[in-house]
Structure 1
Amino acid sequence: MTNLFIDGEQGTTGLQIHQRLRQRSDITLMTLPAEQRKDTARRAEMLNSCDIAILCLPDEAAREAVAMIKNPHVRVIDASSAHRVAEGWTYGFAQMSAGQPERIRESKRVTNPGCYPTGAIGLLLPLVNAGLLPADYPVAIHAVSGYSGGGRPAVDLYEGDTAGSGPAFQVYGLGLKHKHVPEIARYAKLSAPPFFLPAYGAYRQGIVLSVALQQRLLPADATASAIHSCLAQHYASGRHVKVLAHEISNDAKRINPESMNGTDDMELGVFSNPENGQILLTAVFDNLGKGAAGAAVQNLDLMLGVSGT
């Protein structure tokens, strides 16, 4: 039996993880009474007496929580962005490379990927590794998430006493310094920061992320067909990432960002216009599933040795 403590279980991601795990017979969920959740001594006690801690906290609070852990046997999954590019932490995106599941399985410190980086890295890394996308390509990424991606304040804005007052659509990150950029560049093996423009829509959850490519800037063999084959081959034997058949992509007229909601899967697509020499890569997934709680549980299962990739 594994003793698991979710630090920050009342947040959007923490609640989702708790709901997913509360019926598990192989896990005992350790919880603090509401009045003790901000008690540093009690939190430290829980963090040091569990087998695995999942941190669903703001970045600074996550760093403080890790510093509280003195027990060398405690393993950590950090759902914040505090440790995503930190040394000594294993990146928790099992499908990104053949050896990643084993690294996660053996690690004591696993950092959950960001929701947007999951889609961006999932599309870009296989292409960079295959030489179909130059590492110095001027990558531009656009992504739209449901408002739950903004955490509890955003959910309250759309569902609380002020429900209906949130904008129908909003673009943010206009300073072009979004915290996900270093994470995407590092794990997609890009030699320069990508252009990244995120947005929220007035729906609860679901992400559609897109990357536009110009054929004239790619190697001669980087056709839409070759790119599709590369992605399909990379994800052929794994779980949780699916690549749309090329003929389905060619016939598609629109993408629904909510189509993967309620799952822990991500669906990738490759669209093209040969006349204009343009290729569009897309990723659709649930920002509360594969983009957050689902990814944490996938990593947990790997660490417990009860799941594949």
Structure 2
Amino acid sequence: MSSNGQATVFIDGEAGTTGLGIRHRLRHLPVTVRSIDPARRKDPDARREMMAAVDIVILCLPDAAAKEAVAMADAMGDDAPRILDASTAFRTDPAWVYGFPEMDAAQPAAIRAAARVSNPGCYPTGLIGLLRPLVRAGLVPADYPVCVNAVSGYSGGGRSMIEAHERDGGPAFELYGLGLGHKHMPEMTLYAGLAQPPVFVPSVGHFPQGMIVSVPLHLDRLPGRVAIADLHEALAAHYRGSDRVTVAEPCAKLAADALAGTDRMELRVHGNDALRQVVLTARLDNLGKGASGAALQNVALMLGLEPPPPV
């Protein structure tokens, strides 16, 4: 705790895109954010001292560095802080709680009680948000051959991608991850409840922030006579009362950057009754609900606070 009685937070990696976004959002919570002198930010002793002095450490580091930081915290025993990790290092680790509060009714309580919470990835947030309720409801079989197409703003791709897109002549649109082994696949498969990894084709557009995740479905490949309305209602029932995840009506077109700067996510079921085809879509900000906005929710829950209303 700080001298004013507020909980204390240290963001390890606060100078990166996600770290900056989290720090900006934490002004909405009654917490004190502590920082290491920039000259000592890579000093293990300085980091260890800071970890021992705060209530929560938020890791905004590459996977290998996040694992090193967690090992350092684990070695501190009773002095170890609670940790929220934004990397992919622990997202499928059974000893960690997955930080998607809307995933299940019990998830907020699990996050509140957890010593270790993994912040979800941006693409998985969209896919899990769409498919998990439908798989749980028995509308989409766990072994359905899922294909996922997604586009994100370039801000989620790190410094080199940001620099490439912000130069004149940056690429308008790129597919990537065409080796089909994207690092988000394990959490997508596990938390969506799928029996096999989906075919996942991510892409980057020439816009800073925003994201659409889309999943096509053939209704005749689903059990029974599933209708478009059944899928919509199952999603609406799952997220009823949420202030961050809404199930909206289908529309003729979607702009990927429409929710840029917000911490909300919109889910839709677009369909054609005659063709018996559906496209599920999730629209969110890759830096908002897909990263820093989710971290704000998780920090609030871990501290027993009410998450502030989403922007």
TM-score range, shorter chain: over 0.9
Corresponding residue for residue 109 of structure 2: 102
Provide the rounded CA distance (Å) in 1 between the counterparts of 2:206 and 2:48. 38
Q: Is contact 1:133-1:222 (8 Å) kept?
A: no
For residue 76 of structure 1, give the secondary structure of its aligned residue in structure 2: strand
Provide the rounded CA distance (Å) in 2 between the counterparts of 1:97 and 1:54. 23
For residue 231 of structure 2, give the secondary structure of its aligned residue in structure 1: helix
Corresponding residue for residue 53 of structure 2: 49
Corresponding residue for residue 130 of structure 1: 137
Corresponding residue for residue 200 of structure 1: 204
Where in structure 2 are there 5+ consecutive unaligned residues?
A: 1-5
Provide the rounded CA distance (Å) in 2 between the counterparts of 1:25 and 1:281. 34
Q: 1:25 to 1:95 in 2, by over 3 A?
A: closer
Deviating runs (4+, > 4 A) in structure 1?
Answer: none
Corresponding residue for residue 2 of structure 1: 7
Q: 1:71 to 1:29 in 2, by over 3 A?
A: farther
Shift in Å, 1:223: 1.1
Provide the rounded CA distance (Å) in 2 between the counterparts of 1:92 and 1:18. 18
Residue identity in the other structure for 2:14: E
Shift in Å, 1:156: 2.3
Q: Is contact 1:232-1:243 (8 Å) kept?
A: yes
Shift in Å, 1:13: 0.2
Shift in Å, 1:220: 2.0
Q: Does 1:256 align with 2:255?
A: yes
Q: Is contact 1:264-1:289 (8 Å) kept?
A: yes
Provide the rounded CA distance (Å) in 2 between the counterparts of 1:225 and 1:305. 37
Provide the rounded CA distance (Å) in 2 between the counterparts of 1:106 and 1:274. 45
Residue identity in the other structure for 2:136: N
Q: Is contact 2:99-2:117 (8 Å) kept?
A: yes
Deviation by residue 1:284-305 (Cα, 9 ceiling, x = unmatched): 0000100000000010111112
Provide the rounded CA distance (Å) in 1 between the counterparts of 2:168 and 2:134. 41
The TM-score, its normalising length taken from structure 1, stands at 0.94
Residue identity in the other structure for 2:36: L
Q: Is contact 2:29-2:300 (8 Å) kept?
A: no
Give percent identity, aligned residues only.
51
Corresponding residue for residue 286 of structure 2: 287
Q: Does 1:209 align with 2:213?
A: yes
The TM-score, its normalising length taken from structure 2, stands at 0.94
Corresponding residue for residue 16 of structure 2: 11
Q: Is contact 2:67-2:89 (8 Å) kept?
A: yes
Shift in Å, 1:4: 0.5
Q: Is contact 1:132-1:221 (8 Å) kept?
A: no
For residue 96 of structure 1, give the secondary structure of its aligned residue in structure 2: coil
Provide the rounded CA distance (Å) in 1 between the counterparts of 2:220 and 2:241. 32
Aligned length: 300
For residue 57 of structure 1, give the secondary structure of its aligned residue in structure 2: coil
Corresponding residue for residue 3 of structure 2: none
